[in-house]
Amino acid sequence: MSDPGTGRPVPAADQARLDALARRVNDSIVALRPEEGAAALEELLRAFPDHPKIQQIAVCAAVIGFAWPLERGPYAARSAERPSAADLDLVFFHADRPTAASGFHDPIDYMGVLALSLESAMITAPQARRILLTDEATPVPDTLPVHEVRRFPLDVALLMYERMRVQEAYLRDRPTGRCSVLMDSDIVVNREPSVVFGEGFDVALTWRPMYIDAPFNGGVMFVARGEAGASFFRRTLACYDALAADRLVTSRFPRDLRGWWGDQYALAVTAGYREIAAYHASGVCVDGVAVRFLPCSEYNYTPTPGPNREAGSLHSKYFVHFKGNRKDGQEHYLRQMRKRFRRRT
């Protein structure tokens, strides 16, 4: 490890100690007990306050160590009557921003991306209702194939927080007999999704094992009939508020976590990091709400960047997420999808 301030290598004796500290911190995070590595982390931060890897470790430790009091237990599977395809809402979210919310993605024609996503929904789930949640200013073309546009006052500088807030508002007002898939604008609806609701969860989150601090991706979430889903989102919003106000957590982030990534942390803290690790193959019960974990690899799949991929390998995925700079591949994939469904008919 070199000193990022001077570029000079660290003396061997100091390097050995720093390596030992890093192992101690990493082990505590993997064990989901970051408090056990807190002193070692502070020493690392004093030695290398601007080192990006140490900053990343500090973020993990702060978020995983944040305690939010809810009653949690194992998920208990139960049967449920599968809704008809007409009882399903496919709920997309988009609001224009002058720059990418992440701060590092390329400029994107999001209305063009959304139009392709909505087209995919028309192909695979034609009976579902297509809803767009947006702000009061974003222009929405009359040609956009959406049944309803719902506008809310929101702060686009806090986009991830506002997305969750308007999703909760939608769920609060939703007829109790509806099922919903809450989605980003860059999601291809790859299979008819009403079958997913044949299992009796209240909420299903799509999880990925490779990110210990952010195990869920909020780009696809399933909310079954009834009021329990809205209740879960209210709890998660309260957790999000507390995370965004916590002194230790905010000190680890270069900017307001309500703008980007914070929703993923709020979902994980609400579900419980230790419970996610213990019950990742099924789910958890949070204050009486049955929260199912569905693997991103099947229900919120992120393809390899670029247009030159085998479309046939993606047919089994329920949703394909062209996130970040993968969006150039979405139009290519839709061309293949159109051909595939024309052959079926």
Q: For residue 260, what are the domain limits?
A: 73-297
Mean predicted confidence (pLDDT) in 271-298: 97
Residue 148, strand partner residues: 131
Q: List the single range of 52-61, 78-87, 264-273, 310-319 with lowest mean pLDDT.
A: 310-319
Q: Return the closest-CA partner of residue 208 out of 105, 300, 314, 278.
A: 300
Residue 11, pLDDT score: 64
Residue 205, strand partner residues: 221, 293
pLDDT per residue over 90-101, tens digit each?
Answer: 999 999 987 655
Which residue type occupies 267?
Answer: L
Vertex 184 angle, CA 251 and 127, to 5°? 155
pTM passes above 0.95: no
- Given a contact cutoff of 8 angstroms between Cβ atoms, the answer to whether 64 and 212 are in contact is yes
Report how many domains make up the chain.
Answer: 2
Are residues 124 and 44 part of one domain? no
Residue 15 has pLDDT above 90, yes or no: no
Are residues 115 and 40 part of one domain? no
Are residues 59 and 77 part of one domain? no
Instruction: Give the DSSP H or E segment for 295.
Output: strand 289-295
Residue 10 has pLDDT above 70, yes or no: no
In this prediction, residue 2 has a pLDDT band, given cuts at 50, 70 and 90, of: low
Residue 307, pLDDT score: 58
pLDDT per residue over 316-345, tens digit each?
Answer: 999 999 988 788 889 989 998 998 888 665
- Given a contact cutoff of 8 angstroms between Cβ atoms, the answer to whether 257 and 249 are in contact is yes
Mean predicted confidence (pLDDT) in 285-307: 92
Instruction: Give the DSSP H or E segment for 149.
Output: strand 148-152
Q: The dihedral of CA 115, 116, 119, 120: what is its sign?
A: negative
Instruction: Mark which of 297, 312, 328 sits at the end of a domain.
Output: 297
Are residues 52 and 26 part of one domain? yes
Q: What percent of the chain is modeled with pLDDT above 70?
A: 91
Instruction: Mark which of 279, 297, 315 sits at the end of a domain.
Output: 297
Vertex 308 angle, CA 319 and 106, to 5°? 70
- Cα separations (Å) of 231 from 46, 153, 235? 42, 22, 6
- Cα separations (Å) of 167 from 126, 129, 206? 22, 16, 16
Are residues 172 and 130 part of one domain? yes
Are residues 21 and 133 part of one domain? no
* Structural domain contains residue 293: yes
Residue 183, strand partner residues: 92, 220
Q: Return the closest-CA partner of residue 68 out of 241, 220, 193.
A: 241
3-class secondary structure, 90: strand
pLDDT per residue over 176-231, tens digit each?
Answer: 899 999 999 999 999 999 999 999 999 999 999 999 999 999 999 999 999 999 99
- Cα separations (Å) of 48 from 16, 34, 41, 144, 205? 15, 19, 10, 50, 36
Are residues 42 and 146 part of one domain? no
- Please tell me the distance from the alpha carbon of residue 49 to that of residue 57, in angstroms, as a whole number: 12
* Structural domain contains residue 233: yes
Residue 8 has pLDDT above 90, yes or no: no
- Please tell me the distance from the alpha carbon of residue 105 to that of residue 84, in angstroms, as a whole number: 38
Are residues 216 and 103 part of one domain? yes
